[in-house]
Structure 1
Amino acid sequence: MNVVSNIPPLDLKRQYQAIGADVSAAVLEVLASGAYIGGSVVRDFEQQFASYVGTTECVGCNSGTDALYLALRAMKIGAGDEVITTPFTFIATAETISEAGAKPVFVDIDLATFNLDLSQLAAAITPRTRAIMPVHLFGNPLDLTKLMSIATQHNLIVIEDCAQATGAKWNGKQVGSIGHFGCFSFFPTKNLGACGDGGAITVNDPALAADLRMYREHGSRQRYYHEAIGVNSRLDAIQAAVLQVKLQHLDRWNQQRAKVAAIYQELLANVPNIITPQATPGGESAWNQYTIRLVAPAGIDAAAYRDRVRASLLEVGVISMIYYPLPLHLQEVYRDLHLPIGSFPNTELVSHQVLSIPMFPEITFDEQQRVVYALKDAIAAHHTPE
């Protein structure tokens, strides 16, 4: 009997098999050094990552979530302020705005790109608006030229949420180098992932970088002297060592992700009930996810259809993910914003349709074919109401 292995959404074991010796050596060197918090390894990675992104400064921290929060704190955004963002993203984007004491203001997304619909942005700006926090969702960069023009016109700070987009480019420039802040996550599932939590903020202002370091170190510039209420948010040396190794491979991995995406685009081009993802014109996606939209046939509930297709994929060993099944404005935590169903129709529509299929640099062509065959079979099996 032939046993067919599962195809996971991401396979970090294959990545480790390729670079494990270098990663292990870097980690053991840190362990032998006895310097586990801060130190030269962290500083070296910060300099290397700043150079990669194209900024003068990089401040490591312990997560992408804290990167967003620290950027808000550095600009003293808090109570009474508003920050515009998308309702179609991971909770951390809006959560950090709330944690800083400000109010998240949502703007609907563009159906083609899953990113903020910039045509709706101006209408959301009020006298209380201090910043815009765009998300380069699934690795697909937002039109930063248009966004920065709007932000400059209204004197607003732009905090790029680059958590899923390390290595993505807009007009040839790395995301995270165009806004006032670039906020990155090094969670293991990201294009540049640590072996645990990690994050970083990129910025071109040395004074802001100094403030970010102060806030991440309990509000302290000099040990045991504190000028603000800060947090403990440091990128540890072991994670920095892992990231130094992986950064050397990032461009190659992203190029391979682009090839994987191109193959999916070709194989899925004429499959009914599927809308394939599209990169923003002028942008270069990092393809953190390959997220399709499943369009339910007439008379079938969209979310139920998506869930049945997903279950059929799982039966044949194809593991998919849903990012994200419930928009932020409909989450219990944001009930007090009084944004009922229908507030952001594009977001609500895609939340019932999206399905992220296996996407990682090491996936084989045969595995991609299996994914596509399974999708075709599932769609054929569920084309009528149950």
Structure 2
Amino acid sequence: MRRHIVEVVENGKFSHGSKVLELESALAAYTGAAHVIGVNSGTDALVLLLRACGLRPGDEVVVPAFSFIASASSVVLAGGRPVFADVEPDGYGLDPGSVAAVAGPRARFVMPVHLFHHLADMTGLGEVARGLGLTVVEDSAEAIGMRYDGVHAGLLGAGGVLSFFPTKTLGALGDAGAVVTNDPDVAEAVGALRHHGRFGRTIDNFPGIATTTGLVGVNSKMDDVQAAVLLAKLGRLEEDIRRRAVLAERYAEALAGVPGVRKLPSVVTRRGSVRGVFYVYVVEVDRRDELAAHLAGLGVGTETYYPVPMHLQPCFADLGHRPGDFPHAEAACRRTLALPLYPDLPPGDVDRVCDAIRSFYLGRRA
């Protein structure tokens, strides 16, 4: 990592420079994407991807009711209108049947979100999208390393995104993100939009200087220091993914059959071959908030994803949704809890977490 950062300092180009270009090339090789465009966050990546794919003011985008708020707020920031759909109870991906039910005449896009450790049903969603004439854009912010029939997440439609928020499977030391796509027109538009709509690039030894402003864009360039960190960590990404899988299996073995633990994460086999990646380890449990407090009292940190479904968030009150509209999403919001998971987590700590969960439900001391 030090070598990459020293190169940034010595080069003197700290944003949108040669280290970002090097990272984009490395990510293209890893994912198989024809084009990778680095930006300053996963949220910006979603906004710019939607704009580059032709979203027009008022266009509707079908998104899951169970996801991080950026999945829907990015639609609004890009000028569109989110339309919520329910998720499948296993894997938490968009339910193709629900998409077909809610998509109206103004719907132009569908945005599956690949959550936690699992890809959405891209075969079923692709069939619905083709039938309704919808463009598929993927919120694959959590999905680096995930593949569907050998194709990396984000490359199963018009394009996708990656987030490099510090806690992600591949994390920077601050915010950073990228758009991945095989469409050269989408790539060119995103590349311009991230740099105030300017076509070309202002780095040494790169053909073309950004002098033409063809679009009204934003300042969403990736910092070279973040690219340097990501380049260093990319070399051990597959080992980190393997380690996460080992720890997830240890959780699964220890928590199987524990009363109160309703559901453990698993890879759902559909019509495609899915390679999941354990970004986080999310279980469904009874008395979720009480369990989280119990674990916190024992020094175990957890995370709740997500306590309020998107269709019931105050910022989307104008859409007129009520409790009960999307029951699977609402059930997930009541029950899901993320347990500690990161590559350097000692196996003994996994055992202690599981002992604490058993003590909560079985009334024994941890």
Structure 1 length normalisation: TM-score? 0.88
Aligned match of 2:268 in 280, 287, 295? 280
Percent of pairs with identical residues:
38
Aligned 8 A contact 1:142 1:283 in 2 = no
* Post-superposition CA distance 1:103-135 (Å, at most 9, x none): 101111111211111222211222211111111
What runs of 5+ residues in structure 2 fail to find an aligned partner? 201-209
* Post-superposition CA distance 1:252-287 (Å, at most 9, x none): 111111111111111111101112112221322111
Deviation at 1:321, TM superposition (A): 0.7
2:108 is aligned with 1:130: yes
Aligned 8 A contact 1:46 1:58 in 2 = yes
* Post-superposition CA distance 1:10-64 (Å, at most 9, x none): xxxxxxxxxxxxx223212211211112222111111111121111111110000
Q: Which residue of 2 aligns with 1:243?
A: 230
Deviation at 1:173, TM superposition (A): 2.1
- Which one-letter code corresponds to 1:292 in the other structure? V
- Which one-letter code corresponds to 2:344 in the other structure? E
Deviation at 1:375, TM superposition (A): 0.5
Structure-to-structure mapping, 1:270-309, within 5 angstroms: 270-274=257-261, 275-281=263-269, 282-295=273-286, 305-309=287-291
Aligned match of 2:52 in 45, 60, 74? 74
Aligned match of 1:151 in 120, 129, 136? 129
* Post-superposition CA distance 1:199-228 (Å, at most 9, x none): 000111222211111111111116454222
Aligned 8 A contact 2:92 2:120 in 1 = no
* Post-superposition CA distance 1:135-166 (Å, at most 9, x none): 10013111212222222233221111111111
2:351 is aligned with 1:369: yes
Structure 2 length normalisation: TM-score? 0.93
* 123-132 or 317-326, larger mean C-alpha shift: 123-132
What runs of 5+ residues in structure 1 fail to find an aligned partner? 1-22, 296-304
Structure-to-structure mapping, 1:79-94, within 5 angstroms: 79-94=57-72
Aligned match of 1:354 in 336, 357, 360? 336
Equivalents in 2 of 1:86, 1:320: separation in Å? 23
Equivalents in 2 of 1:362, 1:294: separation in Å? 25
- Which one-letter code corresponds to 2:264 in the other structure? T
- Which one-letter code corresponds to 1:280 in the other structure? V
The alignment covers a number of residue pairs equal to 351
Equivalents in 1 of 2:22, 2:268: separation in Å? 33
- Secondary structure in 1 matching 2:338: strand
Equivalents in 2 of 1:54, 1:159: separation in Å? 17
- Which one-letter code corresponds to 1:322 in the other structure? T
* Post-superposition CA distance 1:330-368 (Å, at most 9, x none): 111000000011111111111111110001112122111
- Which one-letter code corresponds to 1:263 in the other structure? R
Equivalents in 2 of 1:132, 1:119: separation in Å? 13
Q: Which residue of 2 aligns with 1:20?
A: none
* Post-superposition CA distance 1:152-185 (Å, at most 9, x none): 2332211111111111111222112212111110
- Which one-letter code corresponds to 1:346 in the other structure? H
Equivalents in 1 of 2:101, 2:308: separation in Å? 24
Equivalents in 1 of 2:153, 2:87: separation in Å? 19
- Which one-letter code corresponds to 1:180 in the other structure? A
